[in-house]
Amino acid sequence: MTSEKDASVNYTFTGNQIRILGCVDVTGGLADVYLDGQKQPTLVDCWNPKLRNKQLLYSRSGLDNSGHEIKIVAQGKGNLISKGADIYIDALQYCDTVSDSNFGQGGGPTGVQRMIFGYTGGRTI
């Protein structure tokens, strides 16, 4: 956790996808994300009107299944309605799993499927 401008954390990983999980609340701030030295065209925003833990703050998939470095840099400020600049990082999740491109081919139901959305105790139209 930090609110200090330019405070950062680096992590190296091997995989084809990564997620940043953290806490969000009314004092949440903004952070920049760098992946393999390239600033990403999005921000991490830890602001939310209510406290929420283990929230997905950033996600990237489709990477080369190789070594990567992620860097998170606090901006030292929040968005326009935030009451602070706090950045909360709980965990980084990454994976190097590759599936078979033919997975699921020819499998699954072949007949008519029925889907019910919403409240199932209501009347049928």
Query: pLDDT tens string for the chain (125 positions)?
Result: 999 999 999 999 999 999 999 999 999 999 999 999 999 999 999 999 999 999 999 999 999 999 999 999 999 999 999 999 999 999 999 998 876 655 556 666 666 666 666 655 655 55
Place of tokens 């703050």: 57
Q: What is the pLDDT of residues 77-110, one digit of tens each?
A: 999 999 999 999 999 999 988 766 555 566 666 6
CA-CA distance, 9 to 102, in Å (whole number)? Answer: 39
Other C-beta atoms closer than 10 Å to the C-beta of 18 total 20
Residues whose CB is less than 8 angstroms from the CB of residue 37 and which lie 6 or more positions away in sequence, other chains included = 69
Q: For residue 26, what is the DSSP state? A: T
All domains of the chain in start order, with CATH:
8-94 (2.60.120.260)
